[in-house]
Structures are given as structure tokens and as C-alpha cells.
Homo-oligomer: A and B are copies of this chain.
Amino acid sequence: MIKLGIIGAGRIGRVHTESISNYVPNAEIKAIADPFFAEKGKKWAAEMGIENIYLDYHKILNDSEIEAVLICSSTDTHAQISIEAAKAGKNIFCEKPIDHDLSKIKEVLAAVKKAGVKFQVGFNRRFDHNFKAVKEAVLAGKIGDPHIINITSRDPEAPPVEYVKVSGGIFLDMTIHDFDMVRYLSGSEVEEVYAAGAVLVDPAIGKVGDIDTAIITMKLKNGALAVIDNSREAAYGYDQRAEVFGSKGAVRVENDSQSTAVLSTADGVAAEKPLYFFLERYLQSFADEIKEFVLAVEKDLAVPVNGEDGLKPVLIGLAAAKSLKENRPVKLSEIK
């Protein structure tokens, strides 16, 4: 039984807490810390059966029984807490992105390396049943050499402008998952990015300097091309599709929905909308990524999504932002 500490009890912290309780039998959450814990939050944590509820995460770092921490706090605190946790000898599961700043990410990776602890990044979609099926088909050689990776990724509702302001921009906040997916599905690295963007959903997003609609084209090291299309708001819900096309064929995945029910009437033939958003669609993946993290800690295995995997999508995101600003393709080697 691995004892865990959760740092950050916001939405994603709670998702992890609940999925660990339900689905990760060989892990136990010994403590949870959040500087903003109100009564309601503490009550929730107590109901989840967590023994130690702290405001200060250092108490977790100082608890020698705790072997691993999940860093679920706000993005701007990921780097510092990660470094402290590494120094404290804790194995680390860090939510994405590690940071918006490359130098900070590199500091984290250096600290982790020095401490010799595990460091996994929260790219949960790699654990989704659909994307895993695509990956497996590609690995099994069923589509031959990848030529085109095509990802459609659209959120069901634009976030509030207050969120957008501190989000780091669409590429680091939303597309970062898709950049990871391009790397994961292609088995290759991005060399150059061209981003076209527009403000079509909410003018307020434009006013704070961000975009809400984008098409991002990438050239990969293995010669393949990749394209992502993003929207902050799809009226029909969370749209999460992907296709890898190659020399021998293509494999693609469609959205999941609540049931397979099809209703045929005089009005037409109707199916259900996709599952609403990431909590519904990726529920199982949140459990599965932690399961594999815990297994890596327990058996001293390599983590399935490492520090490099955390760094690279940030690099691509920064290149995309630069491309959008300068309206030209940007090589990743330009990003320092």
C-alpha cells in the first residue's frame, strides 16, 4: 500500500482523490493540503476518509510515511512545489502543464533528476480507451508509417474571461493536451509549427489577447504532418476525435456518448450528443494514470509520462503562440 499526499483540493485534486478511492486499491491518501480549504472542503475531505487535512502542504512533504505526492494546485505553483517535493524525496505526479516558463520546467526536471524521484505529468488522455486503441493500432503497424495525424479537439463551453486571462493562452491551456496527443500517436517529435487563429466564439476572449478558434499544422521529425483544430465552444458538447493516416490505412476514433440509443421518427434519426466534458469523457483515464503512477512507484518502473513528455508540449505551445503572433511557421529550435 503506497501512501499518497494530495496538494491542491480544487476540481482536479478532487477528481484524483475520488478516483483513487474508488479505483486504485493499492494506494491510500494519507493527507491532503490546500491553503484555501474552507469548511465545506474540509468536510468533503473528511468524508473521503482522509486522515490529515492541512492548509500547508509542507506538512505533507515532511511526512516520511508519504511516498508520493500529487500536485494539483494552480499552474503557477507547480514548479516550486515540485522542486520542494523532489528535495523531500517524494515521488511526484504533477498536473499539466508543469509551468508556462521553459526555464522553470528545466529547473524542475533538474531537481527531479538530482533527487532520483519519479516524476509523472498529468496527460491523462494517453490512458483513454479510445486514444489507446489508436496508439495500439499504430504500434502494431496496422496503418504502416504515419503520414497525417488529424486531431479535432473542441470544448463544450468557452471558459470565463477571468480564467482565460490567467490560462497562459489557448495553446498552453487547451491545445497542450492535443500537442501531447500528436507526440503520443505519431511516436515522433514536432519540428515546426504553424498556427492560424481567430476569435469567433467570444469577443471578450480576443480583448484579453487570446483566441478561441485555431488550426495548428505541424511538421514532424519522421516526415509526417499533423493538424489540430480547436474551438473553445462546440454547441453539441466535448468533441474529442483523432485519426492517424498512414501508408497502409487509417485508424480513427469517434466521441463517446451516454448510450448507443438511436431514435428514428418523422423528424429524422437521432443519436445522443458526446459525453459533456472532460470529467465525463475522461473519468476512467484519471484513475488509470494514477494506477500506473502508483505501480511505477511500487515496482520502481519508469513512469508512463515523464518530465520530457511534460516539457515538449509546452515547447510546441510556445512555438504555436509565436507562430500566431508573427504569422509564420516557427521551428521548435527557435524556442529557448
- 0/1 string, A225-255, CB within 8 A of B gives 1: 1110101011110010000010111111111
A217 CB-CB contact with B under 8 Å:
yes
Contact (Cβ within 8 A) A250 B264:
yes
Q: Which residues in B have their C-beta under 8 angstroms from that of A315?
A: none
Q: Which of A53-61, A145-153, A291-299 contacts B (4 or more CB under 8 A)?
A: A145-153
- A165-220 residues with Cβ-Cβ distance < 8 A to B are 194, 196-198, 200-201, 213-215, 217, 219
* Total copies of this chain within the assembly: 4
Nearest to A194 among chain B residues (CB) is: B194
Nearest to A216 among chain B residues (CB) is: B217
* Distance, CA A242 to CA B231, complexed state (A): 17
Q: Which residues in B have their C-beta under 8 angstroms from that of A103?
A: none
Contact (Cβ within 8 A) B213 A194:
no
Given the known interface contacts A196-B217, A328-B329, the answer about A129 and B259 at a Cβ–Cβ threshold of 8 Å is yes
Contact (Cβ within 8 A) A261 B215:
no
Given the known interface contacts A261-B130, A268-B270, A270-B270, the answer about A145 and B235 at a Cβ–Cβ threshold of 8 Å is no
Q: Name A's B-contacting residues (CB within 8 A).
A: 22-23, 129-130, 132-134, 137, 142-145, 147-148, 150, 152, 154, 194, 196-198, 200-201, 213-215, 217, 219, 223-227, 229, 231, 233-236, 239, 245, 247-273, 327-329
